[in-house]
Amino acid sequence: MLAIVSDAFGGRGGIAQYNRDFLGALTETGAVSRITVVPRHAPDEVVLPEGIEQTRPRSNRIIYSVAAIRTALLSHVDVVFCGHLYMAPLAALIKRLKRAKLIVQTHGIEAWPRPSKVQRAAVESADLVLCVSRHTRAAVLSWAAIEPERVLVLPNTVREAFTPGDRAAKRASLGMEGRHVLLSVGRMDSGQRYKGQDRVIAVIPDLIEKGYDVHYLIVGEGDDRARLEALARDNNVNERVHFLGPIGLASLVETYRAADLFALPSTGEGFGIAFLEAMASGTPALGLAITGAVDALADGELGTVVSKSDLVATIAHLLSQPKPDPIALATAVRSRFGRKQFAAGADAVLNRLAEPS
């Protein structure tokens, strides 16, 4: 397999994590013997899993395309995996050059509007299109002239590091003993203001008025932080909104455990892996009843889905209830989105490629 990706091993964010999970699962199950990953970005050091090699990153689009084609021409390629819609035309070209099978992965907002003609043609030439949620699958089928059976849903999985555990120490270190703690994890991007941290900040005064001693933790980085800080000041809750910045994995797990409620009222989640991370750490999660968050929250079976208008009332209700049993919540999440289930889904994708067309 040749993997054409924006980032994977050594990359950051949900797309990089999905690519790592998918490619790693294929080598773990023995579905493929070797994977060559060609990334555009890989800022972090990483130890590659057995059976996977990765070329050095090339951020320049033209240089990257030339390098990807050269790598393909010098290699035996049975399957091309395209990890992002924007790279589909390049992946489709390599498919034709190598007479290989093509899998195109779609995630979320990049695939919801109708893409360019060349991107549509590339997707329509794919043997399989993978989507992380039903919402994204429906969007792809709305603009692509492709048989529905070639468009599959393979949702995200959650890493084993996210487990329930002690929460008191982290709450004490943050000064949150005896308080109601809300948490969001996600980028703060001024170009994509859909994550919903601003919606949580806006409802804090109403929650205080209802008698809740609310504090809000925000994990993540991005150039929209200054706007959110100003919003907190404008709402006179700046002392209750705490920007923790980007944090390491161990601290992230502890922060998930410490929260009373993970709230991400986002309008643009392709899936929302942070919902899984929170619930696998034993903390209940809330999201809007739209886009891919509905899949991550299992239509309300695992977490809470809510409309924008009911956000205040629902958060207040959840904070008034005892925190659900962390072990039971984590077990339910893993039974649906665990690594074993994801690996079986990835293996099924490769089996579909082997079926006669």
Encode pLDDT of 57-71 as tens digits: 999 999 999 999 999
CA 347 to centroid of chain Cα atoms: 20
CA-angle at 89, arms to 87 and 90, nearest 5°: 70
CATH class in words for 2-157+338-354: alpha beta
Supply the mean pLDDT for the chain.
96
pLDDT, residue 112, reads: 97
282: left (phi over 0), alpha (psi -120 to 50) or beta: left
Say which residue the tokens 């299109």 belong to: 129
pLDDT at 13 over 90: no
Give residue 200's identity as a one-letter amino acid code. V
pLDDT, residue 192, reads: 81
Q: What is the 3-state secondary structure (H, E, C) of the chain?
A: CEEEEEECCCCCCHHHHHHHHHHHHHHHHCCCCCEEEEEEECCCCCCCCCCEEECCCCCCHHHHHHHHHHHHHCCCCCEEEECCHHHHHHHHHHHHHHCCEEEEEECCCCCCCCCCHHHHHHHHCCCEEEECCHHHHHHHHHHCCCCHHHEEECCCCCCCCCCCCCCHHHHHHCCCCCCEEEEEECCCCCCCCCCCHHHHHHHHHHHHHCCCCEEEEEECCCCCHHHHHHHHHHCCCCCCEEEEECCCHHHHHHHHHHCCEEEECCCCCCCCHHHHHHHHCCCCEEEECCCCHHHHCHHHCCCEEECHHHHHHHHHHHHHCCCCCHHHHHHHHHHHHCHHHHHHHHHHHHHHHHCCC
pLDDT bin (cut points 50, 70, 90) of residue 294 is very high
pLDDT bin (cut points 50, 70, 90) of residue 274 is very high
Contact 23, 81 (CB under 8 A): yes
pLDDT, residue 12, reads: 86
pLDDT at 355 over 90: no
Rounded CA gap, 40 and 58, in Å? 5
CA dihedral 39, 44, 46, 52 (to 10 degrees): 0
Residues of the chain with CATH 3.40.50.2000: 2-157+338-354, 168-336
143-152, Cβ contacts within 8 angstroms, sequence gap of 24 or more: 143/114, 143/115, 144/120, 145/120, 150/126, 152/128, 152/349, 152/352
Mean pLDDT value of segment 216-241: 97
Does the domain formed by 168-336 have CATH 3.40.50.2000?
yes
pLDDT bin (cut points 50, 70, 90) of residue 191 is confident
CB atoms within 10 A of CB 349: 19
pLDDT bin (cut points 50, 70, 90) of residue 238 is very high
Contact 243, 222 (CB under 8 A): no
pLDDT, residue 152, reads: 97
Rounded CA gap, 293 and 274, in Å? 10
Residue 220 has phi, psi (to 5 degrees) of 140, 175
pLDDT, residue 17, reads: 94
pLDDT at 147 over 70: yes
Rounded CA gap, 255 and 330, in Å? 16
Mean pLDDT value of segment 18-42: 95
Rounded CA gap, 285 and 276, in Å? 8
Percent of the chain predicted with pLDDT > 90? 95
In this predicted model, what pLDDT tens digit does every residue of 57-113 receive, in sequence order? 999 999 999 999 999 999 999 999 999 999 999 999 999 999 999 999 999 999 999
pTM value > 0.85: yes
pLDDT, residue 118, reads: 98
Mean pLDDT value of segment 218-234: 97
pLDDT, residue 357, reads: 63
Give the tokens for residue 167: 């929460």
Mean pLDDT value of segment 298-324: 96
**182 closest CA partner among 328, 14, 316, 329:** 316
In this predicted model, what pLDDT tens digit does every residue of 243-273 receive, in sequence order? 999 999 999 999 999 999 999 999 999 999 9
In this predicted model, what pLDDT tens digit does every residue of 339-352 receive, in sequence order? 999 999 999 999 99
pLDDT at 3 over 70: yes
